[in-house]
A and B are shown apart, each in its own frame.
Chain A
Amino acid sequence: VELVQSEGGVVRPGGSLRLSCAASGFTFDECTMHWVRQTPGKGLEWVSLISWDGESTYYAESVKGRFTISRDNSKNSLYLQMNSLRGEDTALYYCAKGGQSGPGSHLYMDVWGQGTTVTVSS
């Protein structure tokens, strides 16, 4: 069971970046997926969630309207399109798999990617 994330990068404020996460070793199209970010100052912050079929998506208020989560189940891949980036979006971003152990389990993360660094700076 593995999640392998694409490389991040340095982006200017107002710019865009797309993160990818490739899943293997589990039935991807049965799982809720998440993006979580981490900064030294704010710790772990949940960013977004997408349902197994991509029909339902949810976002943290801090990124709503700027970030878009999506998935391609035919490619076992998860994405995060980040637009209008700000300095406060600078973080280590993780993709993570939701649990599958009963009601509500999809809301915690039982497998995590290796993380990718996004730096927003001029």
Chain B
Amino acid sequence: EIVMTQSPATLSVSPGEGATLSCRASQSVNKNLAWYQQKPGQAPRLLISGASSRATGIPARFSGSGSGTEFTLTISSLQSEDFAVYYCQQYNDWPPVTFGQGTRVEI
């Protein structure tokens, strides 16, 4: 099973600033990586698939990069609605698909 490790666990950012979230896989997942956003009391929402392709309706301030074992989600100029928990998920080697433990982006 591929283990996904996200860092940092919590990121404190001011509105308008940028944020960089990291996700590392225990072995290569090529570009088969997705990012999700989860707000309190809500289900996760797909942001990025294929490591860098934004899902439908996702603002351009969200961007993903990386391949192999190292991935990054960048949020440029955080808006108030962006404060949430972010998860990465690998789908290269399955079953099972596996998730990281999440990064909380807080004010």
Contact = CB atoms under 8 A, between A and B. Distances in A.
Interface of A: 43-46, 49, 58-61, 94, 99, 101, 104-105, 107-115
Interface stretch (B16-24, B66-74, B76-84, B97-105): B97-105
B104 to A, nearest CB: 12
B101 to A, nearest CB: 5
The 10 A-B pairs at the shortest CB distance, nearest first, are namely A107-B91, A112-B43, A108-B34, A44-B99, A58-B95, A110-B46, A46-B97, A43-B101, A46-B96, A60-B96
A113 B49 contact: no
Given A105-B49, A107-B32, A44 B44 contact: yes
Interface of B: 32, 34, 36, 43-46, 49-50, 53, 55, 87, 89, 91-92, 94-102
Contacts of A108: 34, 46, 49, 89, 91, 97
A109 B99 CA distance: 12
A115 B94 CA distance: 23
A110 B44 CA distance: 9
Given A44-B44, A94-B43, A114-B43, A107 B97 contact: yes
A60 B46 contact: no
Contacts of A45: 99
